[in-house]
Structure formats: C-alpha cells, structure tokens
Structure 1
Amino acid sequence: MSRRCELTAKGPQVGHKVSHSNIKTKRRFLPNLCNVTFISDALGRNVRLRVSTNAIKSVDHNGGLDAYLMKANAAALSPRALELKRAIEKKAAEAAPVAKAS
C-alpha cells in the first residue's frame, strides 16, 4: 500500500533530522493518511479511500465527495478516484437531460 493520498496526491517528503550539535541525518516526513468511508450521493453508495487529513477537510469544505471530485484536477487524482469522478460525471449527465425534459 503506497503512502500517497488518493485525492490530493500528497506523498512522503525527505528532510533532515537535526541534532543538538547540528548534525543532519536524512529522514522521511510521511503524510497523515487515514482510511475513510465517504458517501457518494450521485452513485448512491459508500466509497472507501485512503486520504490525508487535509483532504478530509477539503472534501467537507466543498460539500461532500461528489462536489470535491467534480472540482478536482484529474492529474492529481489516483486511478480509483479518477474512475469515481468519471462515474459521478456520467450520472450527472444522465440526470441533467431528465431535469430539462420535465
């Protein structure tokens, strides 16, 4: 399992651990990842993703998973999230003509 957020593509960064005597040794800063179950209103099902806590706040701020994915840049999304985005867009396109017809 990779240490990369599926929504924001945040991954590990490399830096230095600095001792009191200013000796620098390499270390990794890992993203704060959580396994979270989001509810997709458009798809009508739960979606389990491994995302950073920052992404959880962003999804909540944007009004849910569907709204976040519609606004998200496709280049930053994982293959699973991109598949979800396409499915949500497809459902939205199917629902739009029905709303116009009535």
Structure 2
Amino acid sequence: MSRRCELTGKGVLTGNRVSHSNIKTRRRYLPNLNTVTLTSDTLGRSYRFRIAASALRTVDHRGGLDAFLMKARDEELSGRALDVKRDLVKAQASA
C-alpha cells in the first residue's frame, strides 16, 4: 500500500534534516493518511478510502464525496476513486 492520498494524490515529499552545525541529511515528509468511510448520496453506498486529513476537510467543505469527485481531476484520483466517479457520472446521466 503506497503512502498516497486516494483523492488528492498527495504523497511523500523529501527534504533535508539540518542540524545545529548545518549538517544536512535526507529525510521524508509523510502525509497524514487516515482510513475513512465516505458515503455517496447519489449511489447510496459507502466507500473506504485512505486519504489525507486535509482531503477530508476539503470533502466536507465541498459538500460530500459526490461533489468532491465531480470537481476533482482524473489524474489526481486513484483507480478505485476513478471507478466511483465513473459510477457517479452514469447514475447522474440516467437520473
């Protein structure tokens, strides 16, 4: 399982740990990933995603999973999230 947010694509960043004597060693900045269950109102079912805490706040701000996925770019979404988005588009087209 990769350390990447399934909704925003946020992943591991690298940088330097700098000591008091200015010695630089490489370090990793890990995203704050949480496993959450989000409910789709249109599809009427729940989905489990491993997303960043900032993405969870964005989902709430945009009005839920459906609104977030419809506004998100396909390049940022994981394969599972892209499948959910395709199902949403089909459901909204048939309704």
| TM bracket, shorter-chain basis | over 0.9
Are 1:79 and 2:86 matched, yes or no? no
- Matches of 1:89 and 1:62, distance apart in 2: 17
- Matches of 1:26 and 1:57, distance apart in 2: 30
The runs of 5 or more residues in structure 1 that have no matched partner are 96-102
Percent of aligned pairs sharing the same letter: 60
TM-score, scaled relative to structure 2:
0.98
Deviation, 1:14, is 0.6
Deviation, 1:27, is 0.4
The runs of 5 or more residues in structure 2 that have no matched partner are none
**1:52-76 deviation per Cα after TM superposition (whole angstroms, max 9, x unaligned):** 0111011000000000000110111
**1:22-48 deviation per Cα after TM superposition (whole angstroms, max 9, x unaligned):** 111000000010001001111111110
- Residue type of the partner of 1:82? L
Superposition RMSD in Å: 0.5
Within-5 A mapping of 1:1-102: 1-95=1-95
Tell me the number of residue pairs that the alignment of Structure 1 and Structure 2 aligns: 95
Of the two, which has the highest radius of gyration? 1
- Matches of 1:77 and 1:17, distance apart in 2: 31
Secondary structure class of the residue paired with 1:88: helix
Larger RCO: 1 or 2 (CA < 8 Å, sep 6+) = 2
